[in-house]
Amino acid sequence: MYDYIKKQDEEIFKAIEGEEERQSSGIELIPSENYVSRAVREANGSILTNKYSEGYPGKRYYGGQEFTDVVETIAIERAKKLFNCQFANVQSLSGAPANVAMYFALMEPGDTVLGMDLGHGGHLTHGHPTTSINKVFNFVRYKMKDPDTGEIDYDELRRVALEHKPKIILAGFSAYSRELDYAKFTEIAKEVGAYTVADMAHIAGLIAGKAARNPFDDGFDVITTTTHKTLRGPRGGMILTRESEEIATKINKAVFPGLQGGPHMNVVAAKAVCFGEALTPAFQEYAGQILKNAKAMEAVLHRENVRMLGGGTSNHLILADVFDSLGVPGKEAETVLDEVGITLNKNMIADEPRTAMDPSGIRFGTPAMTTRGMKETEATRLAEIMIETLRHKDDVAKKQTLREEVRAMCEKFPIPESFV
């Protein structure tokens, strides 16, 4: 598959080959990662990468757009069907640029956004002080009422909204394991005259697969998302508008020419392919199995008295406090689990007492393992292996035995090339 790279650039070929082996022989549990189909990979590596397509279908700045217009139009129409909305911008390069474009479309510099606190499950682009966007807009935050149940403090959210009168109320997360009450967000937003935006990067595939509630059903104005993660497409972003043509026009202008130049048409084609896959009944089965596998892992952690933020999971991910429960810091847990072929990420917990680079928690999820065809039996055993590994982190022989078990599981469930 990589014959030309092998001939031309051996160093890069070896790195790609090594990564292919790593992915095939280990279990991917980072909840924001997944495996794409061969069809998506082919589109992503297609000749469309040669073409500049500034503008939108039928309104380009360069000639030679007869086929790029077809590709982008198909991607738009499939996205609208998937998420039951009237407008879709499929040009965003990733989730963070999608959020930035959305902010500039709906606000003026100095306006306020009310979003989830990073330490309670939010995302950097929701206004963390280290981000550049924090210098342009004013960000205020809401949190969980109780980190052990995951319940959002909606009374406090309303109080902050009434005090600060945000232009946008943002529902969304990167490390939150429960469902949000979108109707409450809508109710509060109407009270203060704010737009409702859902950053659904993590659960877009669950929404598309009818395994999670669609914020548009509760009146949200806009959804931003990545196209990878649970949606199982190429690395990219997207902005959806429920029904307002005025909002959609502002978003299109904010993406191009406001923030980006020419779209990556090879990635837009790969998005179109993945949207087509997500429209199949098989994808709905896949989305449902993601949740079943997450619940199976949750049950093991409950049984072994491992603390989970939010008390467990209602979606695809779990955030576990391994430092409090097992005496292993998150950074060490990530490293040790890598040694047995299980990849996940260290993660801060709510009101983190340690540092961001060596936090108390680990974050893991089930999208990629579910793509390989693994079900509750495998999910249960993987959770057990994780706990065994952390409890015997200095036992080299034990870890070697567990590594072989993980490798055997990977051989039994190879990464599929097609989902349809």
Instruction: Please return the burial class of 155, using the count of CB atoms within 10 Å of its CB with bins 0-12, 13-18 and 19+.
Output: exposed
- Burial letters 227-241, b for 16+ CB under 10 A, else e: bbbbbbbbbbbbbbb
Q: Quick check: is 226 catalytic?
A: yes
Contact between 234 and 212 (Cβ < 8 Å): no
Catalytic residue at 199? yes
Which run of H or E residues covers position 106?
helix 95-106
Instruction: Retrieve residue 32's tokens.
Output: 């924001």
Active-site residue (options: 54, 69, 324, 405): 54
Q: Is 240 annotated in some ligand binding site? A: no
Known binder of ligand: residue 302? Answer: no
390 is in an annotated binding site: no
Which of 6, 41, 145, 235 is catalytic? The answer is 235
CA distance 101 to 4: 37
Ligand-binding site membership of 123 (annotated): yes
Catalytic residue among 52, 213, 338, 407: 52
Given 28, 72, 117, 199, the catalytic residue: 199
Residue 118 marked in a binding site? yes
Question: For residue 10, what are its two tokens?
Answer: 């051996």
> What is the rounded distance in angstroms from the CA atom of residue 182 to the CA atom of residue 320?
25
- Distance, in Å, from the CA atom of 92 to the CA atom of 95, rounded to the nearest integer, reads 7
Q: What is the DSSP string of 353-409?
A: SSBTTB-SEEEEESHHHHHTT--HHHHHHHHHHHHHHHHTTT-HHHHHHHHHHHHHH
Q: Which residue among 141, 178, 229, 271 is the active-site one?
A: 229
β-bridge partners, 196: 169
Is 54 among the residues known to form the active site?
A: yes
Identified catalytic residue from 224, 226, 313, 371: 226
- Would residue 125 show up in a list of annotated catalytic residues for this protein? no
Give the residue numbers of the binding site for (6S)-5,6,7,8-tetrahydrofolate. Answer: 118, 122-124, 245
Residues annotated as catalytic (active site), given as ranges: 52, 54, 199, 226, 229, 235
Residue numbers in the known binding site are: 118, 122-124, 245
